[in-house]
Amino acid sequence: MTATLPLAGIQVLELGHTVMGPTCGLILADLGADVYKVEKTGKGDDTRWLKGFGSGFFTCFNRNKRSVSIDLKPTRGQEILHRLVRAADVLIENFGPGTVERLGLGYETCRQLNPRLLQPQGLYARSL
């Protein structure tokens, strides 16, 4: 008999980097959510290239996720991300203050794209 994980069927869009954002996505993925990690184009997440004690960060904090590379600054990248926001149940981000607004992904914009999104502190999620 296969047990269903509690978050099976939930779609998460993760705009997380380094440790804290990816940790949130990791917990949701481990609970069965389908997590799409957005990485910058070119080299991807900075933790992919850490050496020494940090060499395992990327694989540790990003297991059970799918990765997609999107340049968030041009209009085309923002359009792609807006399509992903429309389909997401949860959006995670841990950029510096004001970054998502500059990228055209502030809470109000995301709420217009996907009215189901709520705004808990530091996490956008729709009512499940």
Q: Read off the pLDDT of residues 69-82 as tens digits, 9 standing for 90 and up.
A: 999 989 999 999 99
pTM of the model: 0.86
Band the pLDDT of 119: cuts 50, 70, 90. low
* Strand bridging mode 90-93 / 11-15: parallel
Task: Determine the Cα–Cα distance for residues 115 and 70; give it in Å rounded to an integer.
Answer: 23
Give the mean model confidence (pLDDT) for residues 33-58.
90
Residues β-bridged to residue 6: none
pLDDT of residue 127: 47
Range(s) of the domain holding residue 112: 11-126
In a domain, 52, yes or no: yes
Q: How many domains does the chain have?
A: 1
In a domain, 5, yes or no: no
